[in-house]
Amino acid sequence: MIIELINKERVEKRAGEPQSAWSFALGIVLRIALYVGVIVLEVFLFNRLHGKLEKYASGSAFSFLILILFAIMLVESLFAGWKAKTILFDKNDRFILGTLPVSSSDLIASKVSFIYLQEFFSIFLLSVPLLFTYAVLEGYSPRFYIFSIFYPMVISLFGVGISLVSSVVFEVFGRIVKKNDILQFAIACIGATALCLVYQFVLTLFLEALAGSTTSGILSVELVQSISRMSKCFGPVYFYCTMLVDKTNIFPFTCLTLGFVLLSLLIGLVTASLAYNRFASGEVERATKVKKTVKTIKVQSGIKYLLKKEFDLIFKDSTYIFSYTALLIMAPFFSFIVISSLNSIVYANIRILVTYFPDIISGLNMLMILLFSSAINASASLSISREGKSIQIVKFIPIKPEKQIIAKATIPTILSSISFIVSIVALLITSNINLTTSVITLISGEAIIVFTNFVGIIFDMNDQRRDSKKLGWINTLLAFVAPVLMFVIHFVFAMIGVSVWYSYLVELVLSIALISPIFFNVGKQYNRYFEMMEIG
Amino acid sequence: MTKEDIKQTEVEETEECKFPIDIQEVHKSYGKKHVLKGLNLQVKKGEVFGFIGKNGAGKSTTIDCVVGLKRQDKGAIRICGFDTKKEPLLAKSTFGYVSSEPIAYEMMTGNEYLQFIASSYDMIQSSFDSNYEFLRKKFELSEDDMNRRIREYSHGMKQKVCLMASLIHNPEVWILDEPTVGLDIMVYEVLVKMLREYANNGRTVFVTSHNMDLVAKICDRVAIINDGVVSDLIDFTKEPLKRKYLSKIFFDTYVKEGQ
């Protein structure tokens, strides 16, 4: 029975739109390419850092290895915990399984096994190449390689404990947060800030490793020393890795590793079982307090109520609070951190580039700013999909399609533009970009925002038609391709020695071309695609 | 054409219209699957019209085409005289629609949703106020309930708000797709009574349901759809005895077809 239940979880995870053989194969190839890319990158980074760290003191690289392995395990466990939240506490799943003659222990065992398998796969892919790289660099015997393969098996068990506990925390927290928009917003902002800082750290670390300069900046003596001290606190990861390199204390380290694993599993299983049974019996479902808002309900006219609805869809839906609204507010901060660290690292370490091709830097800045802005905006540009099931309402209310579509596209355009302009002004004031670059970036960025919102909505409407070729991906792709294309123009012109003004000119022409469809009676297309949308 | 002109035209057309729902030779296919095969149906003013059929017979597709969620491939649908393809906005302004699954903007409160719907139909404030209070009391929703987010509602409460939204603008035609699913017995009885009262006031009700008792109890006429066409049309006003045997007639339709 457990095998069938595990298989059910697998099928459920893969459920979705039916895929053609071609898109299925493409998905697999892309996934493999992504994993290969990540593995190559981490091995390269570790390889470069290994040499530098060993200059401080012998053993620094080992401590750094433990830190990275622990970070991988922790991130994977939290990520698996997030997924486990759905696997363990999905309402429909509980409803269906709750009526079947299957014991709770079988259910929990199957779900935990599935979480373990997922976690094992990820930790294996990300950790074993690092361990092998370290063994090659240090010249260890085959014993190290053999026991490295068992590392993901053991550590994934420890990770499952963390995943189970975190899934309960996520679920309880989610239930509290779900009913409070301001809290959702605050958490999303904190999350985005944390991501900015982590991104800045990783980017700086990567550029330092790439630059090949002497150890300075992030990799300070203090940091390396504190990593060495901290590594002993990383529990089973530290004990397992020490067991790999130290042949003398195998038994105590094995016992300590297993002890940690068992303790983590035990805490995780008990917490998850208690929460599963408690949520299943519905004890934690509580009604929220109702705000006493005694106000008259005013019937509105014009476009105001449509704009308000769009605003509500973005600001009161947790999906968009996390994927769009919070990022929008954090975008100026995010752009500032990344552009300033990029500039300082490039100027400090890649002087040759700056000396011979100064215009490339402005192109690189443009690329980063445009990428942030268009990637954030792309998540909100699918205004029709954002409706979900309530798209029915859009179809049967007696309001002109153009009016509805314009209201839909206007709100994300205004919000994205405000955030984008603030980012540019912040970068300009802090002298991270010059005036010309900021003006050109502003025009190009606005063109991308307007295109994805006002023209992209046609692709989104097209996707609502039964049997239509899906085109929504064009919007997402364009959000990435347009900035890269502008950078390529900048790069090529800089390399062949053409004045930067020509690249600005070409970028301006491209921007105008991007928004030109708006001048060709898009309203008619709105009507056509709106009528063709088939719901249900 | 100004809004006043549109409303005036609407009133004139409505007054003239004998068949508030007029479906002529409607065809609809999904790829190679031909679902509606020249469906003809005329619903009279002031009647409760039932539309029944087994799963997959084309009931929902018909309703979807009528309310504009789907476009028919061929044929014409007129609501209160307005062609749904040529004058979609005018057609839409004449009906209220309740789908089988309660669908509303769940991030809004009940009040906000009704405000949105009323604004969409360009309602007059005083008319909204009176309809709102009448419907809220009829469906037994408290002020507290109406100030709560719809996503926190039970299925039955969501259905009540959707019923309220479909009636808030006082439509000429009330179209309901499986309206009784998830309603408690008290509200069920209220709804049944309302459906009848609505038709008695000269409005038209078009309802689909799998609940034969409901259909037999409230409808003046019933159409049975089978394989994309109306296979049987029963007029209870002329043959009242058939109310008792609706289930049998329904099953016989499919037995006859060997299904």
The residue type of A458 is: I
Sequence-separated contacts (24+) of B128-132 with Cβ below 8 Å: B128/A297, B128/A299, B128/B168, B129/A297, B131/B167, B131/B168, B131/B169, B131/B170, B132/A297, B132/B164, B132/B168
Task: Tell whether B107 lies on the interface with A, counting CB pairs under 8 A.
Answer: yes
Q: Which helix (H) or strand (E) holds B181?
A: none
Of the candidates A186, A236, A476, which has an alpha carbon nearest to the alpha carbon of residue A244? A236
CB A471 within 8 A of CB A463: yes
Cβ contacts of A185 on chain B, cutoff 8 Å? none
Residue reference for tokens 């939204």: B165
Question: What is A73-114 written as a DSSP string?
Answer: HHHHHHHHHHHHHHHHH-HHHHHHHHTSS--HHHHHHHHHHH
Of all residues in chain A, the one with the smallest CA distance to B168 is: A299
Cβ contacts of A531 on chain B, cutoff 8 Å? 71, 88
Share of chain A above pLDDT 90, in %: 3
CA gap B191, B209 in Å, rounded = 13
Cβ contacts of A397 on chain B, cutoff 8 Å? 92, 117, 120-121
Q: If contacts are CB pairs under 8 Å, which of residues 135-154 in chain B contact chain A?
A: 143-144, 147-149, 152
Cβ contacts of A467 on chain B, cutoff 8 Å? 30-31
Q: Do B70 and A535 touch (CB under 8 A)?
A: yes
Q: What is the predicted pLDDT for the residue at A102?
A: 66
Q: What is the predicted pLDDT for the residue at A143?
A: 81
Q: What are phi and psi of B97, to 5 degrees?
A: -130, 135
Task: Report residues of chain B scoring pLDDT below 50.
Answer: 1-6, 8-9, 11-13
Q: Is the ipTM of this complex over 0.95?
A: no
Of the candidates A73, A69, A84, which has an alpha carbon nearest to the alpha carbon of residue A269? A84
Q: Which helix (H) or strand (E) holds A139?
A: none
Quick one: three-class SS letters along A242-254? HHHHCCCCHHHHH
Task: Give the gap in angstroms from C-alpha B244 to the nearest C-alpha of chain A.
Answer: 34
Task: Tell whether A319 lies on the interface with B, counting CB pairs under 8 A.
Answer: no
Of all residues in chain B, the one with the smallest CA distance to A386 is: B105
Task: Give the gap in angstroms from C-alpha B230 to the nearest C-alpha of chain A.
Answer: 22
Task: Tell whether B132 lies on the interface with A, counting CB pairs under 8 A.
Answer: yes
From the list B68, B105, B148, which residue is nearest A309 (CB)?
B105
Going by their DSSP bridges, the two strands B204-208 and B173-177 should be labelled as: parallel
Cβ contacts of B90 on chain A, cutoff 8 Å? 398
Mutate to test the interface with B, among A176, A393, A394, A465 (most CBs of B within 10 A): A393
CA gap A528, A479 in Å, rounded = 25
Q: What are phi and psi of B51, to 5 degrees?
A: -130, 110
Task: Tell whether A190 lies on the interface with B, counting CB pairs under 8 A.
Answer: no
* Residue B51: strand pairing partners: B208, B223
Longest dimension (CA), chain B: 55
Q: If contacts are CB pairs under 8 Å, which of residues 374-413 in chain A contact chain B?
A: 389-390, 392-393, 395-400
Q: What is the predicted pLDDT for the residue at B22?
A: 94
Task: Tell whether B60 lies on the interface with A, counting CB pairs under 8 A.
Answer: yes
Task: Tell whether A103 lies on the interface with B, counting CB pairs under 8 A.
Answer: no
The residue type of B138 is: K
Q: Do A467 and B30 touch (CB under 8 A)?
A: yes
Task: Tell whether B128 lies on the interface with A, counting CB pairs under 8 A.
Answer: yes
Task: Give the gap in angstroms from C-alpha A294 to the nearest C-alpha of chain B.
Answer: 8
Q: What is the predicted pLDDT for the residue at A48?
A: 77
From the list A305, A531, A536, which residue is nearest B64 (CB)?
A536
Q: What is the predicted pLDDT for the residue at A351?
A: 66
Cβ contacts of A532 on chain B, cutoff 8 Å? 71
CA gap A285, A279 in Å, rounded = 8
Task: Tell whether B124 lies on the interface with A, counting CB pairs under 8 A.
Answer: yes
Of all residues in chain A, the one with the smallest CA distance to B69 is: A535
Task: Tell whether A182 lies on the interface with B, counting CB pairs under 8 A.
Answer: no
pLDDT, tens only, A433-460? 889 989 999 999 999 998 888 888 888 8
User: Both ends of chain A: CA-CA distance in Å?
Assistant: 35
Run means of pLDDT, 10 residues per run, chain A, 536 residues: 61 56 75 82 79 71 84 86 77 65 72 84 86 85 84 88 87 77 75 74 68 57 75 82 79 85 88 76 48 65 82 77 75 80 71 72 87 82 80 89 89 89 88 88 91 85 77 80 88 85 89 81 81 80
Total CB pairs under 8 A between chain A and B: 104
Quick one: three-class SS letters along B208-236? ECCCHHHHHHHCCEEEEEECCEEEEEEEC
Residue reference for tokens 């709770």: A104
Angle at B116 between CA B111 and CA B121, to 5 degrees: 125
Q: What is the predicted pLDDT for the residue at B1?
A: 41
Task: Give the gap in angstroms from C-alpha B113 to the nearest C-alpha of chain A.
Answer: 9
Q: What is the predicted pLDDT for the residue at A283?
A: 44
> How many helices (DSSP H) and strands (DSSP E) are in chain A?
22, 0
This prediction's pTM:
0.70
Residue reference for tokens 């019937």: A299
Task: Give the gap in angstroms from C-alpha B61 to the nearest C-alpha of chain A.
Answer: 9
CB A359 within 8 A of CB A503: yes
Q: What is the predicted pLDDT for the residue at B2?
A: 44
Length of chain B: 259
From the list B71, B92, B114, which residue is nearest A398 (CB)?
B92
Q: Do A312 and B97 touch (CB under 8 A)?
A: no
Task: Tell whether A14 lies on the interface with B, counting CB pairs under 8 A.
Answer: no
Cross-sheet strand order for the sheet of B21-30: B33-43, B21-30, B74-79, B82-83
DSSP code for B6:
H
Mutate to test the interface with B, among A184, A296, A297 (most CBs of B within 10 A): A297
From the list B88, B107, B143, which residue is nearest A317 (CB)?
B107
Task: Give the gap in angstroms from C-alpha A292 to the nearest C-alpha of chain B.
Answer: 7
Task: Tell whether A466 lies on the interface with B, counting CB pairs under 8 A.
Answer: yes
Q: What is the predicted pLDDT for the residue at A464?
A: 79
Length of chain A: 536
CB A161 within 8 A of CB A265: yes
User: Both ends of chain B: CA-CA distance in Å?
Assistant: 51
